[in-house]
Amino acid sequence: MELSSKKKLHALSLAEKIQVLELLDESKMSQSEVARRFRVSQPQISRICKNKEKLLADWCSGTANRERKRKRESKYSGIDEALLCWYHIARAKAWDVTGPMLLHKAKELADIMGQDFVPSIGWLVRWKRRNNVGFGARHVLAPPFPPEPPPPGPTSPAQPPLSLKDFSPEDVFGCAEVPLLYRAVPGTVGACERIQVLLCANSRGTEKRRAWVSGLRAAPRCFFGVSSEALPASYHADLGVPWSEWLAQFDGDMGQQGRQVALLLAARVVEGLAGPPGLCHVRLLPLSATSTTPSLPTSVVRAFKAHYRHRLLGKLAVVQNERAGTSLAEAAAGITVLDALHMAAVAWAKVPPQLIVRSFIQEGLAPGRTPLSLDKASEMPPVPGGLSLEEFSRFVDLEGEEAVSGVCKEEIGPEDEEGGGEDGFAPLPTKADALRALGTLRRWLECNGTSPELFEKFYACEEEVERICCL
């Protein structure tokens, strides 16, 4: 006796289910007619209609595997979603995410959520398939720098050299190397403790490039445990600017914006380059070797140093209030290169655009008339208490008083005074420490009559810290 063959079940993929919904919405076909076209049963079409909103949400998310036929929910859906969120953040930051990195992060998230879960290779493969990670067309990140153009041919004598008139003021940039005695105090000139800060801004003051700091140490102790992406300024372990690397990064950034810009540069810097930098979007405009005009106005550099010195004295005053009898020099010994990076970033941000505009025009680095400034006093920080205007002015120009050379001494920070942890380093703060510190700071603000405006800034900081703690 011949057995009757059982009808084979035909499952539809996510893409086919979306086609079913489109047919039902755009035509007058019945569910039975659509079922015959896709060779499935009418109840299966009915279930697709009931799950319409969920199917459309999966389709529009762009992360679901559109060829999947059944959606099997993971037992650890919370870990799945948290890992997917972290993955998207990592890809947005152009991190090179690997399988071992995903497994390690999944285990870390499971521990945070209090779940007894050990991710395996098989689980990771299923997770990637569920969330369309690493399958199908992948998002290819643009290269950080454009390919180098072919060597230029002989310059036509009929083609005039580029000048400032060929660029709009917004696309004319100037830069300067600023030597900085980062923990010097008034009345003294240290024989070392120098960093080099590279500043760059356009002639309208609307764009200030991220400060680039160079130092003598490849890995200062204060950088232990600090993510390079969290640094407020770029750091290079050599007391000199790596111009080729910096120019390539600048050129890449301008390429991503689709811009052609001019960069004023000292003749000695251009001559010191090993070869043609191969820039596509940044045109170098070398200043004359005999010119005394700097490529970034002197007043802009001086304003940066004034804001840095003002911030430094403020930090030292806090240390003196905490420890009675501490001298300025003793307080300054605790200032690290990491502190200097933060203070340099704040000082550069405080240089006002109106000062940059006026300085570029006054020194002939940009066309136009000098704009009127109704409040020039607001362009410079106030003179700190205990110093006269002349004393503060001398303190700002400290680097020009005598040549400074030598290697900086090892930094002495709070971790050294307390004995530190293993290998001489203080233990890194945990997420619990960060949340506790937020509570302490809010309590201190509450007890000292803080304004609502400052609380708004605190709330923004609190939300960001809590978000990072949940990653």
Sign for the CA dihedral angle at 31, 32, 35, 37 comes to negative
Q: Are 261 and 254 in contact (CB under 8 A)?
A: yes
Q: Answer yes or no: are the C-beta atoms of 106 and 119 closer than 8 Å.
A: yes
Could you please report the per-residue DSSP string of 96-131? ---HHHHHHHHHHHHHHTT------HHHHHHHHHHT
Q: Measure the CA–CA gap between 272 and 182, rounded to whole angstroms.
A: 27
Q: Where are the beta strands (DSSP E) in 165-216?
A: 172-181, 194-202, 212-214
Its sign, for the CA torsion 248, 254, 258, 264, is negative
* DSSP state letters, 301-315: HHHHHHHHHHHHHHH
Closest CA to 221 of 421, 432, 404, 465: 421
With CA atoms as reference, report the closest residue to 85 among 114, 106, 71, 67. Answer: 106
Give the strand pairing for 194-202 and 172-181.
antiparallel
Per-residue pLDDT of the chain (471 residues; tens, 9 = 90+): 444 444 455 677 777 787 788 777 777 778 888 888 888 888 888 888 887 777 776 666 554 555 555 555 556 777 888 888 788 777 777 777 778 788 888 888 888 777 888 888 888 888 887 777 764 334 433 444 444 454 554 443 333 456 777 888 889 999 999 999 998 888 775 555 788 999 999 998 999 999 999 887 766 778 777 777 778 888 887 777 788 888 988 998 998 888 899 999 888 888 877 655 678 899 988 887 677 778 899 999 999 999 999 999 988 888 888 888 888 888 888 888 888 999 999 999 999 999 999 999 888 887 766 665 545 556 788 888 888 888 888 888 887 655 444 444 545 444 444 444 444 556 778 888 888 888 888 888 888 777 778 888 888 888 888 888 877
Can you tell me which residue has the tokens 């609190």?
462
One-letter-per-residue 3-state SS of 359-397: HHHHCCCCCCCCCCCCCHHHHCCCCCCCCCHHHHHHHHC
Distant-in-sequence, close-in-space partners of 420: CB < 8 Å, separation ≥ 6: 426
Q: 1: which DSSP letter?
A: -
What are phi and psi for residue 387, nearest 5 degrees? -125, 140
| 240 close to 402: Cβ distance less than 8 angstroms | no
Are the CB atoms for 358 and 433 separated by under 8 Å? no
Coil, strand or helix at 2: coil
Alpha carbon distances (Å) from 357 to 352, 363, 419, 441: 9, 10, 49, 39
Q: Please tell me the distance from the alpha carbon of residue 120 to that of residue 439, in angstroms, as a whole number.
A: 38
Whole-number pLDDT of residue 350: 92
SS3 274: coil
Give, for 253, the enclosing helix (H) or strand (E). Answer: helix 243-256
Q: Round to whole Å and give the CA distance between 431 and 454.
A: 23
Q: How far apart are CA 348 and CA 210, in angstroms?
A: 9
What letter represents residue 443's amino acid?
A: R
CA–CA dist 471, 83 (Å, integer): 8
CA distance linking residue 342 with residue 300, whole number of Å:
19
Token pair, residue 458, equals 């605190």
Alpha helices in 257-335 (DSSP H): 267-272, 298-322, 328-332
Check the CA dihedral 33-37-42-43 and report its sign: negative
Radius of gyration over every alpha carbon of the chain, rounded to an integer in angstroms: 30
Of residues 308, 305, 326, the one with CA closest to residue 317:
326
Task: Specify the pLDDT at position 68.
Answer: 56
The neighbouring-strand residues paired with 201 are 174, 208
Strand partners, 235: 213
| DSSP string for 6-41 | PPPP-PPPHHHHHHHHHHHHHS---HHHHHHHHTS-
Measured distance CA(442)–CA(436) in Å, rounded:
10
> In 3-state terms, what secondary structure has residue 236?
strand
